[in-house]
Structure 1
Amino acid sequence: MPSTQELFKAALQGDLAYFKELQSCDVDSHDSWLKVTYPKSGDNLLHSAARQGHVHLLKFFHEAGADLELPNFDGKRPLHEATQAGHLDCVKYLLSQDVSVDCLKRADWTPLMLASTKQDLVVIQTLVNFGANPSLRNKDGWNSFHLACREGFLPIVEFYHKYRGDLWDTVSKNGRTPLHTTALHGCYDVTLFLLENCGYSVDVKDSCGSTPFMDAMRSGHVNVGQLLLEKQQANIYEVDNVGYQALHQAAQAGHTESVKYLVETKGVEVDTPTTAGSTALAVAAKEGQLAVLEILLGAGANINSVDNKGRSALHIASGAHHAACVEILLQRGADITPDVAGNTPDKLAKKDSIVEMFERHKAL
């Protein structure tokens, strides 16, 4: 019998003549090579043929006795492979042979879910016509509509909504709606569609307390944030479970355009504290977001504001070893005063370069 590598190379290339010759020359053992699997993935020859779009091989293997439903180590069947790769002929052939249209791979993904991460509407329509259920949820609680919204391809979202008008009313296991997802990924057209055609409540929150507006801002999608303000009257001051507003989240992520929009265009108060007492300045200092730090200072942020433990942005930047942030804070006149535990910012410095920075500052 040929080696595994030889068999899969022929399947990869769609070499039907090779397999016909193999079958005719090896009548007694052809059943064994049909069952060969690739050691690392557990793929069989049908997986390879479906992935490459070789429908003629799928037919040949099936007629020779191969099982169209055998999964690989990831639980994927040939239909998963054909769907994910967008090979419509393979998808149609497999479905015509009555394979399970909603078969599950690892993490409970159906072929329709995989198709929903692409932009091939015809494949999705074909699966649905054969009975695929778009309301099924994967391990994380996402249905096919939710996945399509993440990808931001409007024709597929419109198709799902027309087919099943209730699919929008779903949340993932961490409480995230499709509207959260489109905002996070900056899918403007799909966000607009959802706002105009679905019944999401204003500032719907996920399990962390984040709203779609917060997601848009912390991802730097100002245009989507504006859309949520205009179409849904989102609350720009809404807070999540730890008291973060959109400004805190944008500062943490380092999205300067979001920070500028919130502070300069919308006039958001820069020194509003979180539940722990941290201002956006301290949040930016913790993450080493130097550009955000400078924007906030330019907008009048209190450089010496402290959190519930008496720590200033200088404490935070020093303890997090962000030398550039320490330097700008010292240059702008930040105080070297102790927190409630008696620690001054310089005592939290571990890097020699930051220690030297404090020593130079004290010597002035």
Structure 2
Amino acid sequence: MTCLYHSFRHGHINTTQYLIEVQHCDINKTDNEGCTLVHHAAWSGNFDLVQYLITEQGLSPTAVTKNGLTALHYASGSLNLSLVKELITTYQLDPHQADSNGQRPIHYAAKSGDILLLELYVKDYKCSLSLTDHKGWNVIHFSSLKGHTHFIKHITSQYPQYISLLHSTDNEGQVPLHLTCESGNIQLVTFLKNEMKCDINAKDARDETCVTFACFSGNLDLVQLLTQQYKLEPLVTDKYGFTALHGAAENGHTHILKWYSQEYSVDITNHTNNYKYTLAHSAAYGGKLHCLQELINKYQCDVNATLTDTDSTVLHKACEGGHVPVVLYLTSLPQCNVAAKTSNGSTVLHITCEYSNSLPILKHLVENHQLDLCAVNDEGMAPIHLACSDGRLNLIQYIIEHIPSSLELPDTNDGRTPFLIAVYFNQLEVIKYLISKKCNLSATNDAGSGAVHISVKKGHLNVLKYLIDNNYCNPNATEHQDRTPLHVAVSANEYEILEYLLNKIRQSS
């Protein structure tokens, strides 16, 4: 984030004016999430700063981020009632507009715990408290996770018709009490259980109980309340054999592990789930270095322990989570098998490229441990293929700069080059980069299909347009069965692509 974005996020109007008017910083740039300066200013809650950008700098108040957020979403979490009113009344932002996750401004108000905003949305704009996002969360879920006791008590006292929401489940079977336990707020937990009669024994769809969520929070007093006063089972397992201790380890709460070890004589070293997922795996995946160090040094957890379903080691999980300090620590241990492979033959390079997008990890493993960037797993994929499939441009750039020949490296199962894989997975920015590196645009896979045929078959009209409109590929190219893209479009029932191709044919005739 640039100095200008930092200034906006903190609402510093004088610094902002200096950067824009004296240093001439570009005010039209957006960040990686597509946020404009108006979004950042709204997030800070600074009314004057938002007004300055809109009225004096001419920035749009209605811009939308890549995730569908408007300035109103950000302002609704800022605790500034006047700013919210201004955005709605003067700039006509919609108080009912959902972002790409289905979250509306009232949900952001619930996250902030702002009762005045709640009243504004309910009374002035008739927003329903029962509205849910794509996860099935309503305002009670959001405020419960934040531990907003005052907010939830206000709803139960002023809107008794919505009390049933206290018992509502989301798409994963979680009730607000689960999320309250995750917040670690004992006062709200006791209120929901004792006064609102919420079920303290409720389980979610994974069979996780309130104890597990309390361990997520790290509040030992709450864990003790649930297990000792409310008599919940301290080590109940979910459907996959995970216990509350895995949650504690993933969140780095070593004091909870110590308490379980002393209170219930839990064998921390060998505590696993159904697939031998140890607490060290959990800590590594969660990026909790201190916890992992204690598990290895104090409890003698095996750094090379493998899962029975995937053969993933602790290092694989650290790479999957993208945690640089954890990876550096593990690879510094003499007993750590850096070259270990999973059950499908993936090295930690494959895992990094598939899951984490961490360039520092990739560089460290290649340059300090000499792992092979051209190694293929059992599915015929090298790290660059996985990076192309997931659009990890920074990793792709590094791999090609490090090994130029990887630009045309085919996978061993289907013969697809990185370019064809990017086409297959609709990764347009990767495609543009590979073309800039002079990749072979005429490459075909083992079945004889080239980029245009693949893009048509997969329904990627944007990719097809880019390739044909820029004259990178021939719209009349034939594959091994002598079919043109037009034939493939008909077979695949891709109407929009068919229409586009026919228009191209008419234009060229």
Alignment TM class, shorter chain as reference = 0.7 to 0.9
Distance 2:415 2:385 in 1: 12
Distance of aligned partners of 1:80 and 1:324 in 2 relative to their CA distance in 1, 3 Å threshold: closer
State which of 314, 318, 331 in structure 2 corresponds to 1:178.
314
* Cα pair 1:326 1:354 within 8 Å, conserved: no
C-alpha separation in 2, matches of 1:178 and 1:109:
16
Distance 2:390 2:484 in 1: 27
Q: Cα gap change, 1:338/1:241 in structure 2, threshold over 3 Å: closer, same or farther?
A: same
Task: For 1:363, give the aligned amino acid.
Answer: S
Q: Which residue of the partner structure matches residue 309 of structure 1?
A: 447
Partner amino acid, structure 2, of 1:271: E
Deviations 1:201-247 (A, max 9, x none): 34322223221112222332111001111332111111012211111
1:337 aligns with 2:501: no
Matched residue SS, 2:271: coil
Relative to structure 1, is the Cα distance of residues 95 and 268 closer, same or farther in structure 2, using a 3 angstrom cutoff?
A: farther
The one-letter amino acid paired with 1:338 is T
Provide the alpha-carbon RMSD of the alignment. 3.5
Q: Secondary structure at the match of 1:116?
A: helix
The equivalent residue for 1:193 is 329
Tell me the TM-score normalized by structure 2: 0.56
Structure 2 residues without counterparts, runs of 5 or longer: 1-143, 150-166, 195-199
1:351 aligns with 2:495: yes
In the alignment, which residue of structure 2 is the partner of 1:30? none
Q: Decide whether aligned partners of structure 1 residues 101 and 267 sit closer, same or farther in structure 2, where only a CA change above 3 A counts.
A: same
Q: Report the equivalent of 1:162.
A: 297
The one-letter code sitting in structure 1 at the alignment partner of 2:496 is D
The Cα shift of 1:354 comes to 5.5
Amino acid at match of 1:334: C
Between Structure 1 and Structure 2, whose CA radius of gyration is higher? 1
Q: Which residue of 2 aligns with 1:31?
A: none
**Structure 1 residues 103-112 or 228-237, which shifts more?**
103-112
Equivalent residue, structure 1, for 2:30: none
Q: Distance in 1 between matches of 2:456 and 2:479?
A: 13
- Which residue is 2:239 aligned to? 106
> Which residue is 1:363 aligned to?
508
Number of the residue aligned with 2:110: none
Q: Is 1:118–2:255 an aligned residue pair?
A: no
Q: What TM-score does the superposition give when structure 1 sets the normalisation length?
A: 0.76
**Aligned residue in 1 for 2:285:** 150
* 1:332–1:127 CA distance, 2 compared to 1 (3 A): farther
Structure 1 residues 253, 46: closer, same or farther in 2, change over 3 A?
closer
Q: Which aligned pairs between 1:240-279 and structure 2 lie closer than 5 A?
A: 240-274=377-411, 275-279=413-417
Shift of 1:77: 5.2
Aligned residue-pair number? 322
Q: Secondary structure at the match of 1:107?
A: coil
Q: Percent identity?
A: 18
Matches within 5 A, 1:13-162: 52-53=185-186, 72-74=202-204, 75-76=207-208, 79-92=211-224, 101-130=234-263, 131-134=265-268, 135-162=270-297
User: Gaps (5+ residues) in structure 1?
Assistant: 1-8, 14-37, 62-69
Q: For 2:174 and 2:428, locate their aligned partners in 1 and report how far apart those are by CA, in whole Å.
A: 48
Q: Distance in 1 between matches of 2:254 and 2:388?
A: 38
C-alpha displacement of 1:168: 1.8
Structure 1 residue 255: Cα displacement: 1.0
**1:160-218 CA-partner distances (Å, limit 9, x unpaired):** 11123343222222222221121122100000111112634343222232211122223
The answer on 1:222 being equivalent to 2:359 is yes
Judged with a 3 Å threshold, the aligned counterparts in structure 2 of structure 1 residues 233 and 165 are, in CA distance, closer, same or farther, namely farther
